[in-house]
Amino acid sequence: MNRKTLFTTSIYEKLNFLNEDEIKNLVQYIKENEVTTNNNHFIGDVHCSFNPEPVGFLDNFKELKNKIEEQIVDCAKMIGYPTSLCITNSWYNVQKEGSQLVWHTHPNSLISGVIYLKTDRNSSKLYFSNPNPILKTVSFVENNSDNFDSYSIVPEDGLMLMWPSWMLHGSHTDINNSEERIAISFNTFYR
């Protein structure tokens, strides 16, 4: 019997997108300019610079923003989107111990992404929920990529992930147990 794979949804990853010096400089900037705003995507002690306006954290780092937008063009090509995407907003999250990222999507965006700056073995994973609703009503004999209810990624310093913004993601039932889990996130849309 032949197998045909249909209707896939991919997550795009770039290991070591940032080097140690870039990470160190970004973490230092965040610590010196940290705000205490929290958005409703988190539970617990989280410092977040989210701003829904078309400005953002990465506007302070033009070279880095351009570097990310080059990767966004590559990602858009793989998905089949037009390549005229740009970052529309960006922010950082500093999750403290005991915090949690609730399930959510990114409306008004085509590709969303995250870059991890400070993680450790106690940092919560990032989960993506399978959008196929039938998977929640059927029992499977064997778990495989055709029937995963969710898929998790272990964050690591310098890792960049991108995905279609409609994908439901969060930390599932994981609680962040690291002292600080720091990440930069961004959304995109057409220029």
DSSP code at position 58: G
Least confident residue range of 27-31, 60-64, 79-83, 144-148: 144-148
* Cα–Cα distance for residue pair 9/53, rounded to 1 Å: 28
Rounded to an integer, the average pLDDT of 160-182 is 97
Rounded to 5 degrees, φ, ψ at 42 are: -125, 155
28: left (phi over 0), alpha (psi -120 to 50) or beta: alpha
**Tokens found for residue 73:** 């063009």
* pLDDT for the residue 41: 86
Our CA angle for 63, 69, 72, nearest 5°, is 155
Task: List, for residues 105-136, the tens digit of each pLDDT value.
Answer: 999 999 999 999 999 999 999 999 999 888 87
Mean pLDDT, all residues of the chain: 92
Our CA angle for 109, 186, 162, nearest 5°, is 80
CA distances from 70 to 75, 190, 191 (A): 9, 14, 14
* Cα–Cα distance for residue pair 9/111, rounded to 1 Å: 12
* β partners of residue 164: 111
* Cα–Cα distance for residue pair 29/183, rounded to 1 Å: 13
pTM recorded for the entire structure = 0.93
Residue type, 43: I
Task: List, for residues 4-38, the tens digit of each pLDDT value.
Answer: 888 888 999 999 999 999 999 999 999 998 776 66
- Whether CATH 2.60.120.620 fits 14-138+148-190: yes
Domain regions of the chain by residue span: 14-138+148-190
* pLDDT for the residue 8: 85
Rounded to an integer, the average pLDDT of 49-74 is 88
